[in-house]
């Protein structure tokens, strides 16, 4: 009886744990449940689905130029070797800097409507150590720049954080 409980509970759990890092947790659950340790072995040797990247779990990373460990894009000090590093502007698939709390829809809208204001703001962000924006803050900053009320640097200082 205990053996069946262990099989039913442990089989899928271990299978899941083995499959998770390569995006095969579904197979891990199923094969672990049906085949037990044989299922674990199958999942362990399984290739990740094509195009699968484990980047999502940790967010974007870049290599430290000194020790080559993976660090945050916006880091100014390497957490592994302590070296001072230049922060890098990691950009998402939509062309938006990583860490901005702006929806892709809002960003695309602003980019389409105020392309030069968005571009000059991005350049100013690089000078200002990459502050973060919400959708509302970015909209305010972009419209301030577009209407000439603030320079890009002033808008970043006022609305970014
Ligand atoms: Zn380092």
Cα of 19 from ligand 1 centre, angstroms: 30
Cα of 67 from ligand 1 centre, angstroms: 4
Q: Which residues of 81-92 are buried (b: 16+ CB within 10 A; e: fewer)?
A: eeeebeebebee
For 78-111, the pLDDT digits (tens) are: 999 999 887 665 566 567 776 677 887 888 899 9
Cα of 55 from ligand 1 centre, angstroms: 19
Question: Is 51 buried (19+), middle (13-18) or exposed (0-12) by CB count in 10 A?
Answer: exposed
pLDDT of residue 116: 94
Cα of 85 from ligand 1 centre, angstroms: 8
Q: Which residues of 21-44 are buried (b: 16+ CB within 10 A; e: fewer)?
A: ebbbbebbbbbbbebbeebbebbe
Statement: residue 21 has pLDDT above 70 = yes
pLDDT of residue 81: 95
Statement: residue 58 has pLDDT above 80 = no
Cα of 119 from ligand 1 centre, angstroms: 31
Give the rounded distance of the alpha carbon of 34 from its chain centre: 34
Q: Mean pLDDT for the chain?
A: 83
Residue-range domain boundaries for the chain: 2-47, 57-88, 91-161
């Amino acid at each position: 009886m205990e053996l069946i409980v262990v099989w039913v509970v442990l089989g899928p759990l271990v299978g899941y744990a083995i499959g998770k890092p390569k995006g095969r947790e579904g197979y891990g659950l199923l094969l672990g449940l049906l085949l037990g340790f044989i299922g674990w072995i199958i999942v362990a040797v399984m290739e990740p689905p094509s195009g699968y990247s484990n980047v999502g779990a940790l967010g974007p990373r870049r290599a430290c130029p000194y020790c080559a460990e993976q660090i945050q894009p916006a880091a100014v000090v390497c957490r592994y070797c302590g070296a001072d590093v230049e922060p890098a502007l990691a950009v998402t698939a939509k062309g938006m800097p990583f860490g901005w709390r702006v929806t892709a829809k809002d960003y695309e809208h602003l980019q389409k409507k105020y392309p030069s204001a968005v571009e000059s703001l991005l350049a100013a962000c690089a000078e200002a150590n990459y502050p973060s924006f919400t959708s509302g803050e970015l909209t305010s900053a972009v419209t301030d720049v577009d209407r000439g009320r603030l320079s890009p640097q002033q808008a970043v200082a006022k609305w970014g954080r």
